[in-house]
């Protein structure tokens, strides 16, 4: 039976993220958190593999107090179990520390045939955790997958690179990261959402993993000094008129008055 | 303890030259040298790296390195790192470069900052970077605390130096290339058409407001009047396949004098790609669409009516 672990990160809902106009800092507190879009597609890919060839899917996340709620969606979609490393003391750790914590968590979870993740999460955009984990676990990696299939103990994937599509094969176990375009994730039915609450969810803190927060923080080597939205002053002029033609003329005049059409 | 040197690598030669310029700046500040690594089979033109600022060029030329594969190339980079013991390692942030940099960083047990849009060394010699975050809506200023300091940088963030007549001798490094457990079955080359977006002074783009591929004709008409290049948002290219590439944080970052977004909602990711436009104009039928916030001028209206009218109005005025 194919045992698949999907790395899922809950991130701030980017559609609801607002920038504080005074400090220019993104207002993160209180904003709804959801599974990062590309990670969700990794989960959908796992579910389709399970539907085709059988298997078991567990999600693994490093998160906080709201992660359990966010992961209900994963369970509703089709994950069989959710594992969450929930420790406030780990907030803000970098990709190096994150991948090491994930490695320890995986050792606790046990055997797997495949680790799936999104090519990047949409909050920090690092694209590192998958390959880092593959390195730590000495696993072959297949990144930027837009098509996936498993036959026996082999995985076949089509990789989306800038200048070519590369079709590859690798023996399991392996780590695969997917691109956003691999699929459209399903929307779970109400019944599945209800069932999700009864699926096993385990939450661990650092000590459950045999780690001390100080130790983990010492692994973190990249420090965020500040986060600020760039200062962009747009005119935000709404062109209005009685008719489309009039509005179009007004807009044409505005464009030409800006002098951007010269040279 | 590392040296004061900088090592630069990209499987894309042009990006390598661009990174050398930054590497040169850092090496001068550190009182060290900048090295370029070139990897492949039958490597030629390594000397060009001297012309673009390298003090030394390492060449690893092996049969199994003919095509990029992440584990063999990881070994090549680690070999060069072992030789140069760089304080800073810069890698081009192509897709291959990013997966490579992450694996190298993990192997070296050090940090890595991805797709940096700005880089500098602080007073203590730590690498400080500016990166897009929160989908591209914000800029994160970060600092790396461990050596070697690794950063990946996309094409065109830095400008390569004006080539000089500098010469040097390439140093060949031998490498026992490991077998890759990933087997390449087929390579389907993509026709990499140059959409010319980065240099275009005027760009018009299509978003999901367009219902059919044939409707892009409306865009072509205004593009002709404005002498503009045509672009689109990610879903138009990646999901619908109407164009090959898109404008946005994961695609092209543009800086035209004029950008006209038609039927584009204005996601954070798209916003990150158009931020440097001088004037942004948008047409979107939804009053609450984010694109209006991002624009200098916007019309809330149906693009199927507004675009032809705008094309006509512009044609009249530009006669």
pLDDT in tens, B91-131: 999 999 999 999 999 999 999 999 999 999 999 999 999 99
Q: How confident is the model at residue B254 (pLDDT cuts 50, 70, 90)?
A: very high
Q: Across the interface, which of A123, A142, A180 has its CB nearest the CB of B133?
A: A123
Measured CA to CA, the distance from residue A22 to residue A28 in angstroms comes to 15
Residue B32 has pLDDT above 80, yes or no: yes
CB contact under 8 A, A227 and B139: yes
Question: Shortest CA distance to A253 belongs to which of B316, B218, B223?
Answer: B316
Asked whether the ipTM of the predicted complex exceeds the cut of 0.85, the reply is yes
CB < 8 Å to B101, chain A: 128
Helix (H) / strand (E) containing A234: none
User: How far apart (Å, rounded) are the C-alpha atoms in residues B174 and B76?
Assistant: 9
Cβ pair A221:B145 closer than 8 A: yes
Q: Average pLDDT in the B6-22 region?
A: 98
A17:B137 CB<8 A: yes
Contacts of B71 in chain A (CB under 8 A): 140
CA distance A144 to chain B (A): 8
Q: Residue B146's closest CA among B116, B124, B123, B115?
A: B124
Task: Say which of B114, B134, B135 has its CB closest to residue A126.
Answer: B114
Mean pLDDT of all residues belonging to chain B: 95
Secondary structure in 3-state letters for B51-107: HCCCCEEEEEECHHHCCCCHHHHHHHHHHHHHHHCCCEEEEECCHHHHHHHHHHHHH
Q: Is B11 left (phi over 0), alpha (psi -120 to 50) or beta?
A: alpha
Residue A163 carries which DSSP code?
S
pLDDT at B103: 98
**Nearest-CA distance B173 → chain A (Å):** 23
**Inter-chain touch B102–A128, beta carbons under 8 Å:** yes
Burial of B162 (0-12, 13-18, 19+ CB in 10 A): exposed
List pLDDT tens digits, range B159-192. 999 999 998 889 999 999 999 999 999 999 987 7
Residue B315 · residue B226 · CB < 8 Å? no
The per-residue b/e assignment along B304-313, b for 16 or more CB within 10 angstroms, e otherwise, is: bbbbbbbbbb
| Nearest-CB residue to B98 (from A14, A127, A261) | A127
For B82-92, the pLDDT digits (tens) are 999 999 999 99
Residues of chain A with pLDDT under 70: 262-263
Residue to substitute from B134, B154, B304, interface A, most A β-carbons within 10 A: B134
- Which of A168, A237, A239 lies closest to B183 in CB terms? A168
| Residues of chain B positioned with their CB less than 8 A from the CB of A95 | 102, 105, 111-112
- Compare all CA atoms of chain A with the CA of B147 and give the residue at the minimum distance: A221
Task: Give the separation between CA B284 and CA B288, rounded to whole angstroms.
Answer: 9
**CB atoms B98 and A128 under 8 Å:** yes
pLDDT at B1: 56
Test B137 with A26 for CB contact under 8 angstroms. Answer: yes
What integer pLDDT is reported at residue A122 of this predicted model? Answer: 82
What local confidence, expressed as pLDDT, does residue B141 receive?
A: 97
Cα of B281 vs its chain's centroid, Å = 25
Q: Is the CB of A168 less than 8 angstroms away from the CB of B185?
A: yes
CA dist., res. B58 & res. B36, Å (int): 6
B134-168 pLDDT per residue, tens: 988 899 999 999 999 999 999 999 999 999 999 88
pTM: 0.91
pLDDT band with cut points at 50, 70 and 90 for residue B38: very high
Cβ–Cβ gap A251/B310 under 8 Å: yes
Residues of chain B with Cβ-Cβ distance to A138 below 8 Å are none
In the predicted model, what is the mean pLDDT of residues B197-208? Answer: 95
Q: Which of B99, B145, B312 sits opposite A131 (nearest CB)?
A: B99
Question: What is the three-class DSSP state of B185?
Answer: strand
Q: Give all strands of the β-sheet with B88-92 in edge-to-edge order.
A: B112-113, B149-153, B88-92, B6-9, B34-40, B56-61, B170-172
Question: What residue ranges define each of the domains in chain B, with the CATH number in brackets?
Answer: 6-172 (3.40.50.620), 192-317 (3.40.50.1220)
In chain A, residues with a C-beta closer than 8 Å to the C-beta of B106 are 96, 99, 131-133, 135-136
Residue B261 C-alpha, separation from nearest chain A C-alpha, in angstroms? 13
Q: Measure B165 CA to nearest chain A CA, in Å.
A: 32
Size of interface A-B (CB pairs under 8 A): 253
Q: Does B190 contact A163 at a Cβ distance shorter than 8 Å?
A: yes
Helix axes B217-226, B303-317, angle to 10 degrees: 20
Report chain B's terminal Cα–Cα distance, integer Å: 67
> Which residue of chain B comes nearest to A242, CA vs CA?
B301
Rounded CA-CA distance B256/A245 in Å is 26
Write out the two tokens for B125: 């010699």
Residue of B nearest to A245 (CA): B309
Torsion of CA A159, A161, A165, A166, to 10 degrees: -50
B230 beta partners: B204
Contact between chains at B185 and A169 (C-beta distance less than 8 A)? yes
Mean pLDDT of B230-240: 95
Mean pLDDT of all residues in B262-281: 95
């Amino acid at each position: 039976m194919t045992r698949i672990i999907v790395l899922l990160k809950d991130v701030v809902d980017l559609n609801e993220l607002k920038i504080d106009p005074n400090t220019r800092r993104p207002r993160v507190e209180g904003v709804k958190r959801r599974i990062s879009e590309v990670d969700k597609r990794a989960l959908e890919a796992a579910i389709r593999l399970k539907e085709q060839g059988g298997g078991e899917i567990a999600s693994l996340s490093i998160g906080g107090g709201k992660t359990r709620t966010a992961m209900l969606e994963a369970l509703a979609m089709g994950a069989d179990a959710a594992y969450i490393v929930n420790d406030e003391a780990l907030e803000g750790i970098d990709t190096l520390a994150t991948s090491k914590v994930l490695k320890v968590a995986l050792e606790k979870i046990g055997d797997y045939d495949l680790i799936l993740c999104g090519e990047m999460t949409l909050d920090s955009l690092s694209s590192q955790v998958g390959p880092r984990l593959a390195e730590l676990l000495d696993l072959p990696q297949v990144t930027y997958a837009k098509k996936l299939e498993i036959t026996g103990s082999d995985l076949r994937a089509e990789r989306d690179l800038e200048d070519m599509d590369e079709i590859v094969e690798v023996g399991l176990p392996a780590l695969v990261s997917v691109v956003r375009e691999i699929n459209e994730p399903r929307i779970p039915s109400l019944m599945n959402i209800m069932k999700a609450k009864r699926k096993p969810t385990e939450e661990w803190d650092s000590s459950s993993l045999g780690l001390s927060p100080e130790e983990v923080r010492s692994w973190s080597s990249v420090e965020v000094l500040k986060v600020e939205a760039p200062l962009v002053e747009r005119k935000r002029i709404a062109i209005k008129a009685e008719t489309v033609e009039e509005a179009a003329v007004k807009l044409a005049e505005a464009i030409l008055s800006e002098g951007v059409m010269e040279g | 303890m590392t040296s004061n040197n900088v090592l630069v690598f990209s499987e894309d030669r042009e990006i390598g030259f661009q990174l050398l310029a930054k590497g040169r700046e850092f090496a001068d500040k550190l009182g060290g040298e900048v090295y370029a690594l070139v990897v492949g089979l039958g490597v030629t033109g390594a000397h060009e790296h001297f012309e673009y600022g390298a003090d030394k060029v390492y060449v690893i030329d092996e049969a199994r390195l003919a095509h990029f594969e992440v584990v063999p190339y990881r070994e090549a980079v680690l070999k060069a790192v072992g030789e140069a013991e760089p304080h800073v390692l810069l890698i081009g942030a192509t897709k291959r470069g990013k997966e490579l940099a992450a694996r190298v960083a993990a192997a070296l047990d050090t940090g890595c900052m991805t797709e940096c849009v700005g880089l500098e060394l602080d007073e203590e010699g730590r690498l400080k970077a500016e990166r897009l975050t929160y989908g591209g809506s914000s800029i994160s200023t970060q600092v790396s605390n461990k050596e070697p300091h690794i950063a990946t940088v996309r094409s065109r963030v830095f400008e390569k130096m004006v080539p000089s007549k500098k010469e040097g001798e390439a140093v060949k490094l031998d490498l026992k290339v490991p077998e890759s457990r990933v087997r390449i079955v087929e390579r389907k080359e993509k026709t990499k058409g140059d959409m010319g977006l980065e240099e275009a002074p005027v760009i018009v783009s299509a978003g999901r407001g367009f219902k059919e591929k044939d409707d892009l004709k409306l865009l072509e008409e205004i593009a002709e009047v404005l002498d503009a290049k045509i672009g689109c948002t990610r879903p138009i290219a990646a999901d619908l396949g109407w164009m090959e590439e898109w404008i946005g944080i994961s695609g092209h970052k543009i800086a035209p004098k004029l950008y006209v977004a038609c039927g584009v909602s204005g996601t954070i990711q798209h916003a990150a790609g158009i931020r440097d436009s001088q004037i942004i104009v948008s047409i979107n039928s939804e009053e609450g669409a984010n694109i209006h916030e991002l624009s200098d001028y916007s019309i809330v209206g149906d693009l199927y009516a507004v675009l032809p009218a705008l094309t006509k109005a512009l044609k009249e005025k530009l006669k």
